[in-house]
Chains A and B, each alone.
Chain A
Amino acid sequence: MSDKSRLDEPTGTHTVGHEWDGIEELNTPLPRWWLWTFYACIAWAAVYVVLYPAWPMVNSATQGVLGWSSRGDLEKEMAGHTARRAPIVGAIASIPIAALPSKPELLEAAIQGGSAAFKVHCVQCHGAGGAGVVGLYPSLTDDDWLWGGDLANIETTLIHGIRNPDHDQTRLNVMPAFGRDGILDSAAINDLVSHVRVISRQEKPSAASARGAALFENNCVACHGTNGEGIRELGAPKLTDAVWLYGGSRDAIAKTIHNPRNGVMPRWNDKLDAVTIRMLAAYVHSLGGGEDAPAPVAPAAAEAAAVPDKVPANG
């Protein structure tokens, strides 16, 4: 490498004095504004370091005299969002949940909010889309509801939970463990399974199902109804349809009769505020299986409808 700069005759320009394999570089001066721009950048950086967090220290960084932080920005933004949401959140809280469908913009907001809350609190059991897990957690997307699928019923379930031991308003269904507690022997359970599968149109009637029908009448109608149509007030499932929480195969039904599983859901009123619960109810209702609120009943009809309540819960 040569460090002697020389005048390059053909161009009349000095070289910078470097040489690589016989190639020399001409000293073509940069524009001076370039240099000033560079100085301006240094000045800018100096100002920036004073005004903003810049210099990393052992555990933190220099704070900057403006006191700016990205965390502070986030807090401001969050506060702004909360303030913007306040009117619609207030409106959702102040009307009866059954009235939500009559206010489309509130319903839409509730569904959006519920969708977000569902992802945080519910997907662990009920799955990302509310599909549930057969044998463990019910699907929230189908049209079969143990306790009722209208907005108010879903909200009640969310608030009080299912089988919550420390809570007296919780929803509680009690199916006896017919096999484990020795109420029925395995042959009887087998006959009962046949009958249940006949009324759910999975099997053709047989001698076993005929025996099972008699057993059903003695042991099951109190909760599941005369024809196995279920009683919602008791959370007793319909046995005649195609939806089975714990499976509809012979084996699965036999297991349920032998030792019922009695699913549990936490109550959410001690973890979530009333509006969030309401939004969750709206979202779950929107998943495709939601039911319309029951029409208001006349007093006489209401009395008739109240009859199943008088059936002893434990049959």
Chain B
Amino acid sequence: MANPDVLAGSEGPLYAARKGVYPKKVDGTFRRLKWVIMAVTLAIYYGTPWIRWDRGPYAPDQAVLVDLANRRFYMFQIEIWPHEFYYVAGLLIMAGIGLFLVTSAVGRAWCGYACPQTVWTDLFQHVDRLVDGDRNAQIRLANGPWTAEKIARRAAKYAIYLAIAFWTGGAWIMYFADAPTLTRDFWAGDAAFIAYGTVAALTATTFVLGGFMREQVCIYMCPWPRIQTAMMDEKSLLVTYKDWRGEPRGSLKKALAHPGSVGDCVDCNQCVAVCPTGIDIREGPQIGCITCALCIDACDTVMAQVGRPRGLIDYCALDDVAVEKAGGTAPPVLKTLLRPRLMVYLGIWSAIGAAMLFSLGERTRLDLAVQHERSPLFVQLSDGMIRNNYTLKLRNMETRPRKVAITVSGLPGAQLWTENGSREKASQRVLMTISPDSVTRVRLFVAAPSEGPARQDFTIATIGRDGDPRGDEDTIQFDRPEAQ
């Protein structure tokens, strides 16, 4: 294999090794916000499967469970069946519009705070600081020879990486089975192969992406930076270096010697040192910026130390940039957030959410779907009546057996029976019990006198016979031979 360096001509290399990024520890408003969001998101991710929720004897008691085997999705009080998958589509639409909303308001805030890649990278960087020390110690260690201490520190660091990665992969599978049972089975060696495979795969990806790839994922792999650019406008808040205030850069000494000749930026490079993607925000907006705002914290700290106003690097919209460059004062952040575009996004987002909640509240838990069997369309019976066959799908979404009556209306003289009955016992309604939490398929035979239109609509309905009369109905066609 060719040595990649051979590919480097006099004009520079075609392939470049990753430059190590060793973000410096920083404190400030946004760092604290990042801590909170990290704690909350990780707690949600690791903890959710362990919340219990009593649903009665026929359903699992895990609050959030994706039960692929039985094709059920449980989320606290809400239970989604496969045919209700449009709720998931609704959630995805809400997520999409939510992204428009957040991105057009505060730029890539998702990237900077809530994206799993960011959260876990942040976590792994804290591990680095814990084991190797802060930025300078990390750089020293990385460039130093392989001493026993370096080997020991590396071993410890990778062991912690691996533990976090394993825990992360392990938490994922808990969403797909009863968590306590799965944990026991997992360690006893009784869990399904897919469980071990998933944990292994997610451990490996967490270890590699969080431990080593880090900002390379954001810059080279992730499609969001490319897409999000299209969602922002000149009113979106972005992390911005106010070059009209900072340039030309100069040290404190220079500022004292020649007042007015230098800007506020003292060129301390703290904004670069703390950046988790290793960029220099003073070069302007760029794809590597995930708007985590740690540079704002770093710069504000330095500005406080040198006695200059904070906000040399700050959340700032393109419009504000123009205003401030011209010497004006940017409007307050709240005003930027309460603009029509965001109100429209928020309105659509809330409308979909409200519609979904309404629909969840209104949906029937005894659902009927009728399919007309078309082969044959109708059957001539020996006594002159015409029979049509229907396949009924009765979904009992409650966790108790249901007693129901199946009736028809709009079809005079109709006789009903199912595959479990017979023509002799046919009547105007069929009584049956449907098992809890399941779909029952039943063939319904409907016989009616041959006199009548060739195609006639009528209604098949279910009525609860166990105290709760609410059911469902479906209008379907009855076919007869064309009149001779």
List residues of A whose CB falls within 8 A of some B CB: 5, 13-17, 27, 29-35, 39, 127-131, 139, 141-144, 201, 238, 241-243, 286, 288-289, 292
Contact = CB atoms under 8 A, between A and B. Distances in A.
Contacts of B11: 5, 14-17, 27
Nearest to B381: A143
Nearest to A111: B419
A127 B379 contact: no
A34 B15 contact: yes
A115 B382 CA distance: 25
Residue of A15, A141, A201 contacting most chain B CB atoms (<10 Å): A141
B389 A288 contact: yes
B4 A241 contact: no
B422 interface: yes
A32 B381 CA distance: 78
Size bracket of the B interface = 20 to 34
Nearest to B373: A129
B334 interface: no
Contacts, number: 90
A interface secondary structure, majority: loop
Nearest to A27: B12
B244 interface: no
A189 B317 CA distance: 100
A242 B383 contact: yes
Contacts of A13: 12
Nearest to A29: B16
Given A39-B1, A127-B375, A131-B379, A31 B14 contact: no
Contacts of A35: 4, 15
Contact of B381 (A29, A238, A243, A292): A243
Contacts of B15: 29-32, 34-35
Contacts of A14: 11-12
Nearest to B212: A33
Contact of B382 (A130, A238, A292): A238
Nearest to A241: B382
Contacts of B4: 32, 35
A106 to B, nearest CB: 15
B210 to A, nearest CB: 15
Contact of A129 (B375, B380, B419): B375
B171 to A, nearest CB: 27
B379 A289 contact: yes
Interface string B422-461: 1100000000000000000001010000100000000000
Nearest to A144: B382
Interface string B305-328: 000000000000000000000000
18 contacts: A5-B11, A29-B15, A30-B220, A31-B18, A32-B4, A34-B15, A34-B220, A39-B1, A128-B375, A131-B379, A143-B381, A143-B382, A241-B383, A242-B380, A243-B381, A288-B419, A288-B445, A289-B379
B130 interface: no
B18 A32 contact: yes
A32 to B, nearest CB: 5
A13 B16 CA distance: 13
Contacts of B373: 129
Contacts of B220: 30-31, 34
Interface in B352-374: 373-374
A201 B1 CA distance: 93
A82 B425 CA distance: 39
A286 B373 CA distance: 14
A40 B389 CA distance: 60
B381 A242 contact: yes
Nearest to B9: A5
Given A14-B12, A32-B16, A131-B379, A288 B387 contact: yes
Interface in B92-150: none
Nearest to B389: A288
Given A142-B381, A241-B383, A286-B419, A30 B376 contact: no
B13 interface: yes
A31 B216 contact: yes
Nearest to B376: A131
A15 B10 CA distance: 11
Contacts of B376: 127, 129-131, 139, 141
B304 interface: no
A252 to B, nearest CB: 12
A142 B380 contact: yes
Contacts of A27: 11-12, 14
Nearest to A123: B375
B379 A30 contact: no
Contact of B379 (A17, A141, A292): A141
A292 B420 CA distance: 12
Contacts of A243: 380-382
B384 interface: yes
Contacts of A241: 382-384
Given A27-B11, A30-B14, A243-B382, 14 more contacts: A29-B13, A31-B17, A32-B15, A32-B17, A32-B18, A129-B376, A130-B375, A131-B376, A131-B379, A142-B387, A144-B381, A242-B383, A288-B419, A289-B379
